[in-house]
Amino acid sequence: QVQLVESGGGSVQTGGSLRLSCAASGYTYRTYCMGWFRQAPGKEREGVAAISTGDGSTYYVDSVKGRFTISQDNAKNTLYLQMNSLKPEDTAMYYCAADRRPKPPRATMNRGEYNYWGQGTQVTVSS
């Protein structure tokens, strides 16, 4: 089992920044892929960014490219999402996810590909 705990959410104005953290514990060895997803009220959960923990390859949904950066600190078993130039449409509950199966790039944004999930942290961006 892998336990994931997110933190770092909050309320900011348009153009502001936040850094989300996801602390992983439990059997984290050979966790091949980790990602950030978000879900706004009335909408489906969507992939935002993902990282292959082995080679560090990163993947982003088009709407956040150039604004968000996913990174990992293997020594701390922690995943990060640096979010800059935030927009009201970024408002959502953000979830950390992990999985032990290697994935092709096209699968990293698919929520069905992840077995482990955190409880989420709320991000609210006001105009």
Q: Report the percentage of the chain scoring pLDDT > 70.
A: 98
Q: What is the pLDDT of residues 18-27, one digit of tens each?
A: 999 999 988 7
Q: What is the pLDDT of residues 71-91, one digit of tens each?
A: 999 888 999 999 999 999 999
- Do 76 and 64 form a contact (C-beta atoms < 8 A)? no
Q: How confident is the model at residue 29 (pLDDT cuts 50, 70, 90)?
A: low
Place of tokens 């909050």: 10
CA dihedral 69, 75, 76, 79 (to 10 degrees): 20
- Do 5 and 22 form a contact (C-beta atoms < 8 A)? yes
Rg (Cα) of the chain, in Å, rounded? 13
Beta strand ranges found along the chain (DSSP E)? 2-7, 10-13, 18-26, 33-39, 46-52, 58-60, 68-73, 78-83, 92-99, 116-117, 121-126
CA distance 37 to 47: 4
pLDDT value at 35 more than 70: yes
Place of tokens 């701390």: 76
